[in-house]
A and B are shown apart, each in its own frame.
Chain A
Amino acid sequence: MILDIAAAALMLGGAFFFSVGTLGLIRFPDVRSRLHGLTKADNLGLGLILGGAALWLGDWSVAGLMLLCWLFALAGSSASAHVIAALETDHAEQREPVHHAGEPPTPADDAATAQVPDPEQES
């Protein structure tokens, strides 16, 4: 009985952290603070929910699987957050947003760039 209450408490906590993370995503002004809010709160929320689920199911192998899931989620989200932050700061100014093609590559230089990789690719 105690385990069920503990599991329920963990899951509620996890849900709370998820909603806080989402709130952070909506409210924070710039990219870095949003990333900060998202990765920290959501990962903690995920960990709590997985812990609650493992407690609820009460099976060690499932708990191990949940832990593995959590580690992969942590690796994935932290790496991507880091990459987004790095790209955002280095290139916020000089690189116009990718979707705005700015001036389309004129066919002339398109040809030039086309020539460049070919010979090297053949060798």
Chain B
Amino acid sequence: MTFTQFSLGALALLPLLAAALTMLLPHPVRRALGVLVALLVAGFTAPVLGSVTSGELTELVLGGFDAPLGIHLRGDGLAAVFLGVTSLVGVVVTGYAAVLPKSTGAHLSATSWVTSHPGFWPLWLGCWSGLNAVYLSGDLFNLYVSLELVGLTAVALVAVGGQSAWEPALRYLFIAVLGSLMFLAGVGLLAAVTGTLDLHQTRSQLDELEDPTLPLLALTLITVGLAMKVALLPMHRWLVPAHSAAPSAVSPILSGVVIKAALVVLLRCWLWALPAVPGMQWLAWLLGGLGVAAVLVGSVLALRQDRLKPLVAYSTVAQIGYWFVAFPLLLHGEHDGAPLGSGAYNGLVALAAGHAIAKAGLFTAAGFLKDRCGTDKMSALRGAGAHHPVLILAMGMCAVGLLGLPISLGFTGKWQLATAAVGAEQWWVLLVVAAGTLLSAAYLLRGIAPLLLQAEVPENAPAAGPVRGRERLGEIAVLIFGVATIGTGLLGAWLGDLLEVGAWW
């Protein structure tokens, strides 16, 4: 067994072991163990990225029992990209939460509410192990169990935010679990016809199947279930209250990486598990339409917000629209080989990865300001930038990533999406991308501009307090996100090569 295969298993099981151990430890030791495990998991991501860069797909057969019976963990291109992004976001957020315990929620001590929550650490490490399990898993039922692990820990992480976060957490629980159950119903349908649960074997069985109705129904169930978990437009109402009520260390995790888990499973089912069934085109066009609606409606609603965190949450709803705009293009290039499909696929993954890093940075900054100034009302935050120049710089860089301006993964993604659309003569995609970019420019500036304005009100706002050393470290975390947004912009080509390994075409 090579070290890369060992690291595949370690990526999924090490955070779970650490989550179990932290439950026994007192609060300060939990923070230290959390940071240590975060670095270890980032370390285990390196060999996987290395082996995928060198072009070979590592596969781990768990327990030594082969495909239809046992479970395979596959470290292919898609898994490697999202493992890398999750490790980056995870390490920085873990550092932020360890340095500023105030950001991990609020719990009721004997009499009063105390900021900082010891329960954050086992739940976050459990969520991280679920995320890694989702990216690596090659078995449909195992995807369901991992999605459920990510969903339940994410709900608990929202609920840790105190009294105002309980109601959004419950709404999030209902939608997340309903989505997982519909996904399981779709998996049951597929298993009835193919007789196996492994992704590759399902694909080969479905190739021989002539009657497309059952796979199409299964795909519809899976798509509706996962669209609930990704919060595509009609089913997005749980996202904004949950992400804005969550504690400031949890919001970046939710918006940055937890949503990507459901997106990766959707891509696995659409591209790997099912062949090009005739009816799929209509479903792809429906998703494209919903994507366009999400981009427009999300941006307009973001413009109308008066608080910072809901604004950033609505921008997530808008950015989700971009990924689904790419779906009709994914299957379009089926007949003449896959040059077009791969372009749209690279664009989609680059957009998602860029969004993860930039959104995590923006949400961390918004949470930081809320913790420092007590509120995230934009009118109350006027002039808060004077005390945190580094924070505003980092927020600007993250906004560049979200907007899709040149050197950022967002730009690479939008560029590849546009070229694929031109190749497939789908001109409407260009309109959507342009309109989306303008609207996101509008609401992001609306969020960041008041911070820079000279505050007319005399300096009695809580932000006037001296910035302690810890807060400086918190700002460094947001700066790392900003620099990473710009830095990963240069890795567009490397991303394309990564995605070649184990691709579906």
Contacts and interface: CB of A to CB of B under 8 A. Distances in A.
B460 interface: no
Interface string B95-116: 0000000000000001100000
A89 interface: no
Interface string B281-313: 000000000000000000000000000000000
The size class of the interface chain A forms with chain B is under 10
A61 interface: no
Nearest to A112: B111
B462 to A, nearest CB: 25
A118 interface: yes
A121 B427 CA distance: 71
A65 interface: no
Nearest to B108: A114
B163 to A, nearest CB: 13
Contacts of B111: 107, 110-111, 114-115
B386 to A, nearest CB: 38
Nearest to B110: A114
Interface string A88-123: 000000000000000000010011001100100000
Contacts of A118: 110
A118 B111 CA distance: 12
Nearest to A108: B111
A107 B110 CA distance: 11
Contacts of A111: 110-111
Interface residues of B, number: 2
Chain B binding site: helix, strand, loop or mixed by DSSP? loop
A114 B109 CA distance: 10
A110 B113 CA distance: 14
A120 B130 CA distance: 40
Interface in A11-43: none
A108 to B, nearest CB: 10
A37 to B, nearest CB: 40
Interface in B459-500: none
Contacts of B110: 111, 114-115, 118
B107 to A, nearest CB: 14
A25 B111 CA distance: 46
A56 B110 CA distance: 61
Nearest to A110: B111
B109 to A, nearest CB: 9
B158 to A, nearest CB: 25
A114 B110 CA distance: 6
Nearest to B111: A111
B52 to A, nearest CB: 53
Interface string B102-146: 000000001100000000000000000000000000000000000
A118 B110 CA distance: 9
A111 B112 CA distance: 9
A68 B147 CA distance: 43
Nearest to A114: B110
A107 to B, nearest CB: 8
A111 B111 CA distance: 5
Contacts of A114: 110-111
A37 B110 CA distance: 47
Nearest to A111: B111
Contacts of A110: 111
B149 to A, nearest CB: 33
A55 to B, nearest CB: 41
A118 B109 CA distance: 12
A114 B111 CA distance: 7
Contacts of A115: 110-111
A26 B110 CA distance: 46
Interface of B: 110-111
9 closest A-B pairs by CB: A111-B111, A114-B110, A114-B111, A118-B110, A115-B110, A111-B110, A107-B111, A110-B111, A115-B111
Given A111-B111, A114-B111, A115-B110, 6 more contacts: A107-B111, A110-B111, A111-B110, A114-B110, A115-B111, A118-B110
7 contacts: A107-B111, A110-B111, A111-B110, A114-B110, A114-B111, A115-B110, A115-B111
